[in-house]
Chains A and B, each alone.
Chain A
Amino acid sequence: MLTLAIAVLGVVLLLVLLASYDEASVGRDWEAILTPGGLRAYEDLKDRFDREKAAIDFSYAKAEAARDDGDVQEAGRLLAVGYDYLALVAPDRETLLDGLKLYSRMCAAIVALPPLRPTAFRLPQLVTLAGLGVLGHHLLVTIPDRFRLRLELLRRGLGIALVVLLRGTHRERGGRLDPDWARVLAARTDFHTISEETIESFGALVSALVRQPATAAALHRVH
């Protein structure tokens, strides 16, 4: 009876796995990896993150200036604009982190990256998350597993920073908008730290993919 059950489970699992195999998607991913596009993508991503950082800082600097001038309403409005922009770019970053996790399974060896440092963050939640990450980093054995843990922490950290920004920006007291400036600015700084760590992870993955024998041969052929 047990043999039958194991066999049925095997059949079902095999059929599910065969059905979930998406040849077109796999093909697209390998096409992206086995071309020099990876290196260009790294430079493009760095440029884009720099532009977004400048836009975010501009909005928050204006909000701080308005607060210092005593214009609380304008400061609150500018903070909300800054948050809206962050909320706009955040899904892209989540997608990027998910994509990195997927690509990390396809390359042979990834550069060993250090764990996220708790001292690099300001929000207590992110300090705790990074601290747990350090623990997990030492418990995991392989570099790709550590890399995926790092990406997962960055993804969760991104979500936490956004929630803190949302709550801090839209905090009301006595029916009036009263942003929690300390937490908002800490969350913004942490958002930038997460961006920098994301770029570093992306760079490690790109260099791993470029060092992959198949990729190296493809690059050599193209250049």
Chain B
Amino acid sequence: MTGSQVLVANLSAALMAAAAAGLLARRRARLCWSFLAYLLAMILGNQLAAWLPETFHSHWFWTAKMSVYGALRSLIALEIALLTFSALPRARLRAELVLALVLAVSAGVGMLATASVGYPYLAMLGLVAPRGSAASLWLFVAVLAVALWHRAPIHPFHRSLLLAFTLYLGTATGLLGLVGLAASSRPAYLAAYAYLEALDPLAFAVTAGFWTWAAWRREPATALSPAVASRLQPWAAACSR
């Protein structure tokens, strides 16, 4: 890893640690436990690669951590759905069906991608990772679409998560997709990979900054009265304002 890469990785880790601390200090971890797990996994995964590059800045580790991140993002979407629709059984059932459909299609497409490329790392880098990011995006789309259809109130913190993931995953998928497109020619692949290495950590650092702000900011005024919020979002009651 280059010096600037280590610097950006450390900055992102510091921001994610601050976000995790904010979640705990403001008692917002209960709004999405899997997001806290995602932050901790990201800190661990990124710092292992930065501190012990000879062992962890490798293809197998990158493949493993991308798989874990993808699984945790799916859990985040599922947890947001379960919380948002906890008092609305019909909406919850619809959300579960839609999420299961998106996951099933993504899993099928992901397996097809792995089978079509001989070298696992290239398959992961150029096909599985961008498709996994796109699948995460569509999981969030599904949650939001069902919430809008049933007019379910979405907690402000969940909206912040959805917005941040949208912007970051959009950027990351675009960059990974470019690498996948350039995989057939070595010079083009190296150029695309250079863009990925330079821009993806920066985009992630900005996203981590946004998460830190979302974790620490004062609870914004909500349109729901306390009585209604306590019925529809009882899980948010104990959060610090």
Contact = CB atoms under 8 A, between A and B. Distances in A.
Interface of A: 1, 3-4, 6-8, 10-11, 13-15, 17-18, 20-21, 23-24, 26-31, 34, 102, 105-109, 144, 213-214, 217-218, 221
Given A4-B174, A18-B162, A28-B223, A10 B134 contact: yes
Contact of A7 (B134, B153, B154, B223): B134
Interface string B146-167: 0111111110000100110011
14 contacts: A6-B134, A7-B134, A10-B137, A10-B166, A11-B170, A14-B141, A21-B148, A21-B159, A27-B222, A30-B232, A105-B150, A106-B152, A109-B90, A218-B228
A14 B148 contact: no
Contact of A15 (B166, B173, B222, B223): B166
A120 to B, nearest CB: 30
Interface residues of B, number: 44
Given A14-B141, A108-B88, A218 B162 contact: no
Contacts of A34: 227-228, 231
Contact of B177 (A4, A11, A108): A4
B170 A7 contact: yes
Nearest to A34: B228
Interface of B is mostly: helix
A135 B153 CA distance: 35
Given A7-B177, A14-B144, A217 B231 contact: yes
B143 to A, nearest CB: 10
Interface string B121-149: 00000010011011001101100110111
A38 B89 CA distance: 21
Contacts of B130: 3-4, 7
Contacts of B144: 14, 17-18, 21
B177 A14 contact: no
Nearest to B129: A3
Interface in B206-223: 222-223
A102 to B, nearest CB: 7
Contacts of A20: 148
Interface in B75-90: 87-90
Contact of B150 (A15, A27, A106, A109): A106
Interface of B: 87-90, 127, 130-131, 133-134, 137-138, 140-141, 144-145, 147-154, 159, 162-163, 166-167, 169-170, 173-174, 177-178, 180-181, 222-225, 227-228, 231-232
A11 B231 contact: no
Task: Tell which of A1, A17, A20 has the most Cβ of chain B within 10 Å.
Answer: A17
Given A10-B134, A14-B141, A31 B181 contact: no
Nearest to A27: B223
Given A4-B130, A14-B137, A21 B173 contact: no
Contacts of B154: 21, 23
A14 B166 contact: yes
Nearest to A13: B141
Given A108-B88, A214-B87, A10 B141 contact: yes
Contact of A26 (B138, B153, B163, B169): B153
Nearest to B92: A108
B163 A18 contact: yes
Contact of B138 (A10, A23, A29, A109): A10
Nearest to B167: A11
Contacts of A21: 144, 147-148, 154, 159
A27 B221 CA distance: 12
A108 B93 CA distance: 11
A207 to B, nearest CB: 16
Contacts of A7: 130, 133-134, 137, 169-170, 173-174, 177
Contacts of B149: 105
Contacts of A23: 153-154, 222-223
Given A4-B177, A105-B149, A14 B231 contact: no
